[in-house]
Structure 1
Amino acid sequence: MGISEIIWLVLGLGLILSEFALPGFVIFFFGTGALLTGLLTWLIPGLGSNLLLQIILWLGTSALSLGFLRKKLSSVFKGTLLGDSKAPQLESDADSGQTATVVQDISPEKAGRISLHGTTWTAKSFDEHFQKGETVEILKKEGMTYWVTRSLI
């Protein structure tokens, strides 16, 4: 195996690995083209000494793999962006509207704690004060913190 084959193989692996850091799922196919060029340079005698032909072969195999495989493979490697309306939500508002018991005073200036589902959670209020023992209604959940209001029950 000559130096040009090794260079193409290393370049191909580097391009494929760089796809993890760069979005778009395009560089992968240039890496695939480089791997194919390295393989063909090793298999076809005389190709290792013709750099122009190697570059043309690399561009051609990259374009063919990009054209024929990207659509099929992109669904396998596709992720979802956070905040995308089609992405699954990280949190649900399943607790919204439920009631909980205050176990540590809550005020707009200072978060307190509520008891819900057998454990305690941090709770905040926009403009109301709650004392230990009061019942509150959950408005929403942000991270590990519940926003609460006065319960009508």
Structure 2
Amino acid sequence: METYIPVLWAIGGLVLILSEFWVSGFVIFFFGTGAIINAIITYFLPIRDNIPLQILLWAINSMLTLFLLRRFIAPLFAGKTIDPEKDTEGEGEKVLVVEDISSDKPGRIRYKGTFWTAITYDEEPIRKDSYAIILEKEGLKFIVSAADEPLFDKTQND
């Protein structure tokens, strides 16, 4: 049984490292790393029959890797955070109006080759085949205002 102890530490370490995909915080990874280090230590040193010492070494290895390496490794796995309060995509861009937009009825615009719902707070409606300027993105719809220029090229903004 004691010849399989390094293998058990290695399997346990891999399970802990893989479980980091389901648990947030980037902490369990270091306990898995400590277990893999422990597998290497128990393979080369004659401590396979001393389970309390192995657990102590695992705890020490895990804490050392956690406190010494986490600040360097965690940013490599950090995702991009998006401020849900403000999405500035498209602000200031000129778009084609493909369905009339008025203050009391949403319409449609063409932006980046796709059709989007758009609303306006302008008093005058924005007519089909005219330009609008994106003021803001709110969820899956855009808030637009009429552009001063008439439409000359219907293929623009595809």
State whether TM-score is above 0.5: yes
1:131 aligns with 127
2:97 aligns with 102
CA shift for structure 1 position 99: 4.6
Task: Spell out, residue by residue over 1:83-118, the C-alpha distance to the aligned partner (whole angstroms, 9 max, x if none).
Answer: 289xxx87534x42x55443322345654333567x
CA shift for structure 1 position 148: 1.9
The separation in 2 between residues aligned to 1:115 and 1:83, in whole angstroms, is 25
Task: Spell out, residue by residue over 1:23-82, the C-alpha distance to the aligned partner (whole angstroms, 9 max, x if none).
Answer: 22221111111011111111112x111111110110111112122222222232333333
The separation in 2 between residues aligned to 1:116 and 1:75, in whole angstroms, is 34
- Give the count of matched residue pairs: 146
2:10 aligns with 9
C-alpha change, 1:48 and 1:79, in structure 2 (3 Å) is: same
Calculate percent identity across the aligned residue pairs: 36
The separation in 2 between residues aligned to 1:130 and 1:36, in whole angstroms, is 66
2:108 aligns with 113
2:61 aligns with 61
The separation in 2 between residues aligned to 1:114 and 1:143, in whole angstroms, is 15
1:23 aligns with 24
Q: TM-score, normalised by structure 2?
A: 0.70
Q: What RMSD, in angstroms, separates the aligned Cα atoms of the two structures?
A: 3.2
The separation in 1 between residues aligned to 2:60 and 2:21, in whole angstroms, is 23
Give the letter for the 1:65 counterpart. Answer: T
Give the letter for the 2:101 counterpart. Answer: I
The separation in 2 between residues aligned to 1:84 and 1:106, in whole angstroms, is 26
Which of 83, 89, 94 lines up with 1:92 in the alignment? 89
The separation in 2 between residues aligned to 1:140 and 1:32, in whole angstroms, is 46
- Residue 26 of structure 2: SS of its match in structure 1? coil
- Could you list the runs of 5+ residues in structure 1 that have no partner in the other structure? none
